[in-house]
């Protein structure tokens, strides 16, 4: 097979789209890493299984979650917070895989945030009908660091608003391999995911995975 034909089989280079001040979507940025990312998630889930957490108001979340890194984000009747140990197992969360750390560091740099060194990754698993209501990521100690969010599997609609919950919302379609980075003036913008539509992805089936990397501590 010639080099020209081989080149034709490679994924297209990622494209960049701004969605707000200091916020970008890097289309297809993670496509070349999908096998390694899925293997890493599988290892994390073996040690810290996915679970449906309960909000302080007593509602079970439709999204199943787990974590890896120095600290993991949790919610229960006591509130939202980061914890060093998995409350389900009583053990520290699995270490942050290098493939996730490296992707987050590189994507953040491409988005204008050099030197990002995440210490936590919240992994969300969506099935059709699951959603994430509008919220701000404000449980981190230092909000000077960006958020890096990786989409795998079924497509989803990302809602990106403003500092106030009532600010207008931009609806951003996200597909397999897209990476969203936001920080600086948009670091505390409200965001969420509309209910996941029915579908079948060739690698993940009727699921979507979202890997959200942060600097928590």
Query: Average per-residue pLDDT in the chain?
Result: 94
Q: Which two tokens stand for residue 109?
A: 């740099």
Domain count, the chain: 1
Question: What are the pLDDT digits (tens) for 13-34?
Answer: 668 999 999 999 999 999 999 9
3 state DSSP class of 9:
helix
Sequential pLDDT tens for the chain (217 residues): 333 433 445 555 668 999 999 999 999 999 999 999 999 999 999 999 999 999 999 999 999 999 999 999 999 999 999 999 999 999 999 999 999 999 999 999 999 999 999 999 999 999 999 999 999 999 999 999 999 999 999 999 999 999 999 999 999 999 999 999 999 999 999 999 999 999 999 999 999 999 999 999 9
Give the pLDDT confidence score for residue 11 in this predicted structure: 53
Q: Does 33 fall in a domain?
A: yes
Question: What are the pLDDT digits (tens) for 115-139?
Answer: 999 999 999 999 999 999 999 999 9
Whether the CB-CB separation of 208 and 154 falls below 8 Å is answered with yes
Q: Does 69 fall in a domain?
A: yes
Q: Does 7 fall in a domain?
A: no
Give the pLDDT confidence score for residue 5 in this predicted structure: 39
Whether the CB-CB separation of 132 and 193 falls below 8 Å is answered with yes
Give the pLDDT confidence score for residue 6 in this predicted structure: 39
Domain extent, residue 112, equals 12-214
Whether the CB-CB separation of 158 and 186 falls below 8 Å is answered with no
Helix intervals (H) in the chain:
3-9, 34-47, 98-110
Q: Does 190 fall in a domain?
A: yes
Q: Which two tokens stand for residue 155?
A: 């497509």
Query: In whole angstroms, what is the distance from residue 133 CA to residue 195 CA?
Result: 9
Q: Does 106 fall in a domain?
A: yes
- Backbone dihedral angles phi then psi of residue 174, each to the nearest 5 degrees: -120, 135
CATH of the domain at 32: 2.60.120.590
Residue keyed to tokens 């079970």: 60
Q: Does 139 fall in a domain?
A: yes
Residue 67 bridge partners (DSSP): 122
Q: Does 6 fall in a domain?
A: no
| Whole-model pTM over 0.95 | no
Give the pLDDT confidence score for residue 13 in this predicted structure: 62
Q: Does 4 fall in a domain?
A: no
Distance set, CA 154 to CA 63, 174, 200 (Å): 14, 9, 7
């Amino acid at each position: 097979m010639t080099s020209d034909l081989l080149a034709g089989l490679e994924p297209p280079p990622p494209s960049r789209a701004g969605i707000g001040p200091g916020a970008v979507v890097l289309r297809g940025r993670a496509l070349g890493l999908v096998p390694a990312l899925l293997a890493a998630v599988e290892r994390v889930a073996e040690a810290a299984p996915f679970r449906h957490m309960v909000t302080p108001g007593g509602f079970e979340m439709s999204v199943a979650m787990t974590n890896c890194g120095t600290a993991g984000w949790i919610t229960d009747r006591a509130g939202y917070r980061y914890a060093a140990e998995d409350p389900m197992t009583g053990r520290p969360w699995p270490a942050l895989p290098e493939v996730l750390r490296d992707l987050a560091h590189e994507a953040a740099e491409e988005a204008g945030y050099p030197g990002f060194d995440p210490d936590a990754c919240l992994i969300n698993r969506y099935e059709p009908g699951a959603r994430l209501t509008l919220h701000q990521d404000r449980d981190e100690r230092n909000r000077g660091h960006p958020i890096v969010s990786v989409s795998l599997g079924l497509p989803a609609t990302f809602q990106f608003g403003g500092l106030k919950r009532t600010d207008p919302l931009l609806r951003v379609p996200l597909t397999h391999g897209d990476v969203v980075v936001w920080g600086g003036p948009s670091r505390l913008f409200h965001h969420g995911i509309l209910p996941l539509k029915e579908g079948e992805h060739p690698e993940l089936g009727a699921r979507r995975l979202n890997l959200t990397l942060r600097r928590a501590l």
